[in-house]
Amino acid sequence: MSTETAAVSAASVSTHILDTSVGRPAVGVAVQLAARGGRTADWQALGGSATDADGRCKDLPALPEDTTQVRLDFAVEPYFEKKQADAQQDAPANRDSGPVVFFPEVAITFAVQPGEHYHVPLLLNPFGYSVYRGS
């Protein structure tokens, strides 16, 4: 009889961004991933990616096995600046002197369990956002 214990795999994370102001994926948003092994532990930067044409990050780094909390940092200000610049190019008379985006970055922190996959979509517009655990 074998006494080997099955190894528990680390949690995994994926995300995508939908720009709800236009009903389309947010393309080219930089996403950084960090993890820690407990709420008092220091964050370990793991690397990042950028959203593709479908608004998805398909190549986020793997999580260390002892991860209990994850943080996704979304750099959304450059996305909205580019979007505004493109719109001004098409219609220069519609320039607005107000801020391009109210939330220049979005940081989402959540708890994870070993062996689970966590898909965390970001629904985004220039003046608000929401997140949820997807499937």
Q: What is the pLDDT of residues 69-114, one digit of tens each?
A: 999 999 999 999 988 877 766 555 455 556 678 999 999 999 999 9
Q: What is the mean pLDDT of the chain?
A: 88
Using an 8 Å Cβ cutoff, are 117 and 11 in contact?
Answer: yes
Which secondary-structure segment (H or E) carries 86? helix 77-90
55 has a pLDDT exceeding 50: yes
- What average pLDDT does this structure show over 40-53? 97
Residue ranges per domain, the chain? 12-92+99-126
| Top CATH class, 12-92+99-126 | mainly beta
pTM: 0.84
Which residues have a Cβ under 8 Å from the Cβ of 57 and sit 6 or more positions away?
A: 14, 15, 16, 31, 49, 50, 51
Tell which wins on pLDDT, 121 or 94. 121
Beta-bridge partner residues of 19? 24, 124
